[in-house]
Structure 1
């Protein structure tokens, strides 16, 4: 059992939790909590750590019956954990290596979320989670968007990060032009939208552009949209949270495709 926070393995977990550079260099990330652990594909698990208290539950022991794991003291696990109330289990997981063509590989019309400079980890995680529920085929992100492997993002996805393809692009403009050339119709969530969002046809190859929480889409990116769409508001509300707006659009597309 590991009883010191100076242990090299403990330090590795802490580095992966706190530093995007460490995650990228090593191709690893940390997924914490019982529900998240159950969602991880077996072939993605690099290593597993559990607290001494976690093993006192017989159901937990059964869950780990076919898994190699390391036990750490409760105090050390608290140091390793990124949460205020640790559940006693976390895994180091191998990162994914999707390509842009993977976002278009699913059968049927493509259905993409395209994110520019989304900064809030909770928003990014929620978009992935809602996106899986709506049936998106993938997420394309500018390289200025928050790190999808940030522990807060991972928790917010509730497991969707293991199932929804996602790609960062260093040149969002070039990526969008390639999508348009391939027949994907791009819609920008924009205050200058001509039509309310439900008036457009999303049953074809579709990509929704959603911008930064404070500033929205850059002019350069918005100019590449085939159409601007708006979500009508009542009261004095001018706009919605990025994840909420994205969800409204995604589930309208899902509704149309069900019809």
Structure 2
């Protein structure tokens, strides 16, 4: 049983939890909980597993290969108030824009029929995780992110995806503007969520295009003008009272479900 914070494996786990550079260099990240462990197993991405002593005492059949860790050490590594008892060191899923457009991830779907959520510099881990989770529920084909978005392998992001991180393709792109051009050339109609937008957000479902992409901007500053002007349509979500804008994840959810409604 691992019972010391000075154990080399514990130090390695803490580095993966807290250091994005460590995750990137090793190609590994950590997810928590028995359900997410099972998702990682299905995806074939498990590197190693650790369980708390109390969890093993209650669950003999989950992650039998796991190393056991004392409860106090496990709690320190987990960093959560109520640890779920399982930490899975997981290999990073790998997706590319080329793979997406070639139909690699969605059963050879034509590239002009893809439905996408596109994020520019979204920084809040909870927002990114919620958007990835909602994207699966709304039937999106992928999440595309600028380099300015938060690290999707941040433990807070992983936690809020509730396992969706193993099922929903997500792609970071270096050339965000060039990617928008490429998507438009592939036949994707782009809708920018933009406060000065002239079209009601329901235009997303009203227009008859097979491939649609919704672009959501930074929580504080919204979309850059360059991105907004590149979109085919700039849409706004009506607001009552003194509210100026919606949370990024809420706005993204509304617009993704408008895409879903257009397919119904």
- Give the TM-score band, short-chain normalised: over 0.9
Question: In the alignment, which residue of structure 1 is the partner of 2:200?
Answer: 196
How many Å apart are 1:254 and its aligned residue? 0.7
How many Å apart are 1:203 and its aligned residue? 4.6
Instruction: Give SS of 1:13's match.
Output: helix
Question: In the alignment, which residue of structure 1 is the partner of 2:2?
Answer: 2
Question: In the alignment, which residue of structure 1 is the partner of 2:123?
Answer: 119
Instruction: Give SS of 1:232's match.
Output: coil
Whether 1:214 aligns to 2:213 is no
Is the contact between residue 41 and residue 162 of structure 1 (CA under 8 Å) also seen in structure 2? no
For the residues of structure 2 that align with 1:246 and 1:161, how far apart are their CA atoms?
17
TM-score, normalised by the number of residues in structure 1: 0.94
Is the contact between residue 16 and residue 23 of structure 1 (CA under 8 Å) also seen in structure 2? yes
How many Å apart are 1:202 and its aligned residue? 6.2
Equivalent of 2:81 in 80, 84, 88? 84
TM-score, normalised by the number of residues in structure 2: 0.93
Question: In the alignment, which residue of structure 1 is the partner of 2:263?
Answer: 257
How many Å apart are 1:219 and its aligned residue? 1.1
Question: In the alignment, which residue of structure 1 is the partner of 2:168?
Answer: 164
Paired residues, what number? 254
Instruction: Give SS of 2:145's match.
Output: strand
Q: Which moved more, 1:22-31 or 1:178-187?
A: 178-187
How many Å apart are 1:234 and its aligned residue? 1.7
How many Å apart are 1:199 and its aligned residue? 2.6
Whether 1:98 aligns to 2:95 is yes
For the residues of structure 1 that align with 2:81 and 2:92, how far apart are their CA atoms?
25
Instruction: Give SS of 1:167's match.
Output: strand
How many Å apart are 1:141 and its aligned residue? 0.5
Instruction: Give SS of 2:261's match.
Output: helix
Equivalent of 1:130 in 120, 134, 145? 134
How is 1:206-245 mapped onto 2 (pairs within 5 angstroms)? 206-245=212-251
Instruction: Give SS of 1:53's match.
Output: helix
Question: In the alignment, which residue of structure 2 is the partner of 1:62?
Answer: 61
Question: In the alignment, which residue of structure 1 is the partner of 2:151?
Answer: 147
Mark the runs of 5 or more structure 1 residues left unpaired by the alignment.
none
* CA RMSD in angstroms, aligned pairs only: 1.3
Equivalent of 2:254 in 228, 244, 248? 248
Is the contact between residue 203 and residue 257 of structure 1 (CA under 8 Å) also seen in structure 2? no
Question: In the alignment, which residue of structure 2 is the partner of 1:19?
Answer: 19
How many Å apart are 1:38 and its aligned residue? 2.7
For the residues of structure 2 that align with 1:147 and 1:193, how far apart are their CA atoms?
29
Is the contact between residue 49 and residue 63 of structure 2 (CA under 8 Å) also seen in structure 1? no
Mark the runs of 5 or more structure 2 residues left unpaired by the alignment.
none
How many Å apart are 1:37 and its aligned residue? 1.8
Distance 1:248 1:202, change over 3 A: farther
